[in-house]
Amino acid sequence: MARAILAAVVGGAMLAPEPGAAQEPSPEEQRAAVRDQGIAVAAEIDVLTAQDAEIQAALSAIQTQVAGQQVVVTQTADAQASADAAVAASAAEITALQGEIAALDARVDQIIIEAYVDPPLDHALDIFDADTLADATVKNGLVDISADEDTAAIARLDEAQVDLEAEKAAQEALAAEAATKKAEADAAMAELNVAVGVQTQLAAEVDARLAAKQWEADVLRLTDATLSAQIEAQQAALAASLAASRAPSSSIGPAPGGLATVSCPAGGSITVAGSIAGNVQALLDAAFADGIRLCGGGYRDPEEQIALRRAHCGTSDYAIYEMPSSQCSPPTARPGSSMHEQGLAIDFTCNGGGTVSSGSACFRWLSANAATYGLANLPSEPWHWSTNGN
C-alpha cells in the first residue's frame, strides 16, 4: 500500500486526469491532492520494513509539503494583514468624519443662534449708514462673505453625513472580507500543523530505525566488517535525509512592505512590517492620549527565533524545529512560523514596565481598541498581539 502511494507521489500519477475525464482538476484541487498524498506517504509507510529509498522519498515528500504549506500560510497571513489594514484605515476615516460632523454641527448651531440674535437684514440696512460709496461696498462684501461661509458650512455638513454613511457601509464590506481572509489564514495554519505533526511522527520512527540498524551494525562488526560498513553507510545516507527534513525552513516570506520603525510616545521604538506601521503608530499615539504608555518588541530575526526556541523548548533538533509551541515554557512558535519573523506581531510592554498582563490597564485598553488598528490577541499570551491573533 505504502509503495503504491509513494510511486503515485513521486511519479505524479495521482495528478494526471483519466483519459476522457469530464473536468480538469483546478489548481486548488491539485494542491490539495499533493498535500494529502504527502501526508499519506509519511503516515502509511512502514519504517521498520521499508527500503531506505522509500523512507528517503517519504521524508522528502512530507518536507516538500511542509515547505509549500508554509508559503501558503505566509501568503494568507499577508492577505489578512492587508484586509485588516483596510478595515483600520476605514475606521480612522469614520472617526475623522465623525469629528468633522461634530464640528460642523456646532458651527451650524452657532449660525442659527446668530441669525436669531443678529438677523442678516440688520446688516443689510447698515449699508445705508455708510459715509461713502466705498464703505458701503466693503460692508456689502462682508455680508456676502459671511453668507457664503455659512452656506458652505451647512452644505458640507450634509456632504459629510452622506460620506459617513457610505464609509460605514464600506467598512462592513471590508470587515466581511477581513473575516474571510482570517478564516483562510487559520485554515492554512491548521493544515500546516497537521503536516508538521505527521513529519514529527515519521522522524521519530526513522530515529528508532536508525538506532536499531546501528545496533545491528555494531554486532556485525565482529563477524562481518564489510556488511557492517555497508549498513552504516546506508544508515548515514538515511540520517542525512532525516537531518535535511528537520532543517529550518527558509520559506517564510519577507516582512510585508519591508521593515519600519515606529516611535513609542513615552520613549523607545518598535520595528514592524511596513504594511502595519501606520496603524501601530496610530495605536501607540491613541493609547498615550488615554494615559496608557505602550511599547514593546516587534520584528524578530529568524536566528533570534531559533535562539528563543533553544532557550524555551530545549536544545535538540526536535525541540527547536518541531516540538509544538505549547510544550515550550513560555510557549514559543516554531522557527519559520512566528508572526514576529514577518514583523506582524508585537509583544507589548505596559507603562514602562514588563510585558502586558491579563487584567492590567494596558490589556483592557488593547482589548477595547486594538481591533480598530488591525491587531488581535493570542489568548494564551496577553502581551502578544498580531494581525491574525497567532
pLDDT in tens, 79-99: 887 888 888 888 889 988 999
Q: Is residue 317 part of a domain?
A: no
Q: Is residue 316 part of a domain?
A: no
Convert the pLDDT of each residue in 119-130 to its tens digit. Answer: 654 444 454 454
Q: How far is 60 from 38, CA to CA, in rounded Å?
A: 9
Percent of the chain with pLDDT over 70: 67
Count of structural domains, the chain: 3
Give yes or no: residues 113 and 236 share one domain. Answer: no
The domain boundary, picked from 153, 174, 195, lies at 174
- pLDDT score of 363: 94
Give yes or no: residues 268 and 365 share one domain. Answer: yes
Helix pair 52-117, 274-289: axis angle to 10 deg: 50
Q: Looking at residues 7-22, what average pLDDT do you find?
A: 37
Range of the domain at 129: 89-174
Q: How far is 235 from 206, CA to CA, in rounded Å?
A: 10
Q: How far is 147 from 153, CA to CA, in rounded Å?
A: 10
Give yes or no: residues 120 and 164 share one domain. Answer: yes
Convert the pLDDT of each residue in 252-287 to its tens digit. Answer: 667 888 899 999 999 999 999 999 999 999 999 999
Give yes or no: residues 64 and 213 share one domain. Answer: yes
- pLDDT score of 287: 96
Give yes or no: residues 99 and 159 share one domain. Answer: yes
The percent of the chain in helix, strand and coil, each rounded to the nearest 5, is 70, 10, 25
Q: Is residue 358 part of a domain?
A: yes
b/e per residue 231-242 (b: at least 16 CB within 10 A) = bbeebeebbebb
Q: Is residue 292 part of a domain?
A: yes
Beta bridge partners of 271: 261
Q: Is residue 132 part of a domain?
A: yes
Give yes or no: residues 73 and 110 share one domain. Answer: no
In 247-300, where does DSSP find H-type helix?
274-289
Give yes or no: residues 370 and 270 share one domain. Answer: yes
Q: Looking at residues 349-366, what average pLDDT do you find?
A: 92
Q: Looking at residues 200-224, what average pLDDT do you find?
A: 65
- pLDDT score of 361: 94
Give yes or no: residues 76 and 191 share one domain. Answer: yes
Quote the pTM value.
0.45
Q: Is the pLDDT of residue 364 over 80?
A: yes
Q: Do 257 and 301 form a contact (C-beta atoms < 8 A)?
A: no
Give yes or no: residues 205 and 62 share one domain. Answer: yes
- State the average pLDDT for the chain: 75
Give yes or no: residues 152 and 287 share one domain. Answer: no
- For residue 328, the 8-state DSSP code is S
Q: Is the pLDDT of residue 359 over 70?
A: yes
The domain boundary, picked from 144, 174, 204, lies at 174
CATH at residue 378: 3.30.1380.10
Burial class (CB in 10 A: 0-12, 13-18, 19+), 315: exposed
The domain boundary, picked from 149, 174, 199, lies at 174
Give yes or no: residues 286 and 347 share one domain. Answer: yes
Give yes or no: residues 102 and 212 share one domain. Answer: no
For 29, list phi and psi in degrees, rounded to 5.
-70, -40
Q: Among 354, 344, 349, 390, which Cα is nearest to 366's?
A: 349
Q: Is residue 313 part of a domain?
A: no
Q: Do 339 and 375 form a contact (C-beta atoms < 8 A)?
A: no
